[in-house]
Every structure is written in structure tokens, then in C-alpha cells.
Amino acid sequence: MSAEPADPTALAEVDLVLGSTSRYRAELLRRLTARFRQAAPDVDETRRPGEAPRALAQRLALAKAQAVAQRHPGALVIGSDQVAALADETLGKPGDAATARAQLAACSGRRVDFHTALCLVDARDPTAPRIHADIDLTTVQFRVLGAAEIARYVEREQPLDCAGSFKSEGLGIALFERVTSEDPSALIGLPLIALCRLLRSAGVALL
């Protein structure tokens, strides 16, 4: 474990950029600070042939942070990516109600692994940017779901922009038997415990 820097910089004093337009990630980051900007990373998120879900999440989190850091020299840039995996199949954002219902039906009674990768690019020294990274694994065990309750859930919560077709911070919690994770915020899209750890490693004090 690395020692705490002798003279850490206060979080309010850094130019913090969230490399994401996600409102869910922004809501999570506001738990730590209101002083940040958001920027779209504009990264191709296509999965490479044979790429494991964990590796995909790590690659994209790094690519997003680096892409935004190039446009924001002197900033601390947060990149994050989440990949939901049902066995070897990745579950993307459904986009429409029919796909959401199909995803939840496929998840019924099964385990889904959520790999949430995090990357912090410290570009305060543009000649030598530093990279800090972490990843969380959250496992969700779905209970057996009936077609009617799946339809009611999708109609009520409209989880069309959520990988796996649910919102764990909302009614989606009723779909599960259990959730196993070291960080409850990771399932929503930004692992705050890991982020605090990476900020401390970069010499930034939250308290």
C-alpha cells in the first residue's frame, strides 16, 4: 500500500474531467465533488474478436480517459467502462423495450458478471502523464422471472439505457436474489471506492 503524500492537493483545486456523458456516472461523482466537467470520449466500443469481457472493460476505460486527456491538458481525467457478461455473451444497452424484455428473460435464474473498469489519467504534467487503474467485479444472481413481471418492470422503469436492462438503484433491485460486490456504486457505473483510492494515489485529498 502506497503512503499518503506529504502535501496532497485538495480535490477542489484540481481540474477534474469525467470522460463520460452518462448521467448515472455524473450523479455518482457528485457524491465526492460538484466541481467537475463532463466530456464525451468518442471512442469506438466495438468488442475485438475473442476479447474477454474484463479485458474489454479495461481497454475501453483506458481509451476513454486517454482520449479526453488529450483534449484537456493539465486535467485529471476519469474514464470508466462497464461490461455485463452472461457466460461469454456481453449484454449491451437494450435501446428498446423488446430487447430489454429479451435480456431479462435470458438473465432469469442466472448469474451475470459486471466488470466495471476505472482509469484516472493525471495530465497535470503534460510531458509525463500518469495512469492509475482499477477494476471491480460485481456478480448479480437473478431470481427466476416470469414474462409478465418482466414486462411490468420494463414498462415501469424503462431501463433502456442500462446494460443488463435494469436499474439497481431503483426497482431493478426486486429482480435479484443477491448481489456480491466490494463496492455498491460499481454496479451503477462508477466504482467510487476505487476512484477515491486512485485519487489518493495521484496525491489528491478528498477530506
pLDDT at 2: 45
pLDDT value for 4: 47
Give the pLDDT of residue 141.
Answer: 97
Answer whether residue 2 is part of any domain: no
Range of the domain at 142: 9-205
pLDDT tens string 125-174: 888 889 999 999 999 999 999 999 999 999 999 999 998 999 998 999 99
Tell me the pLDDT tens digit for each residue of 7-32. 789 999 999 999 999 999 999 999 99
Choice between 195 and 129, residue whose per-residue pLDDT is larger? 195
CATH number at residue 31: 3.90.950.10
Provide the pLDDT for residue 20: 96
**Pairs from 178-183 (Cβ < 8 Å, separation ≥ 24):** 178/140, 178/141, 179/138, 179/139, 179/140, 179/141, 180/138, 180/139, 180/140, 180/141, 181/136, 181/137, 181/138, 181/139, 182/136, 183/136, 183/138
Contacts of 27 (CB under 8 A, 6+ apart): none
Total Cβ atoms within 10 A of residue 113 = 16
Per annotation, catalytic residue among 81, 134, 136, 183:
81
pLDDT of residue 3: 46
- 39-60 pLDDT per residue, tens: 999 999 999 999 999 999 999 9
81 flagged as catalytic: yes
The total domain count for the chain is: 1
Task: Write the CA distances from 201 to 8, 136, 189, 207, integer angstroms.
Answer: 10, 17, 21, 14
Q: Who has greater pLDDT, 1 or 10?
A: 10
Within-domain flag for 3: no
Among 62-66, 79-83, 124-128, 139-143, the minimum mean pLDDT is found in 124-128
Confidence of residue 6 (pLDDT cuts 50, 70, 90): low
In percent, the amount of the chain with pLDDT more than 70 equals 97
Tell me the pTM: 0.91
User: Do the domain assignments include residue 118?
Assistant: yes
Residue 4 falls inside a structural domain: no
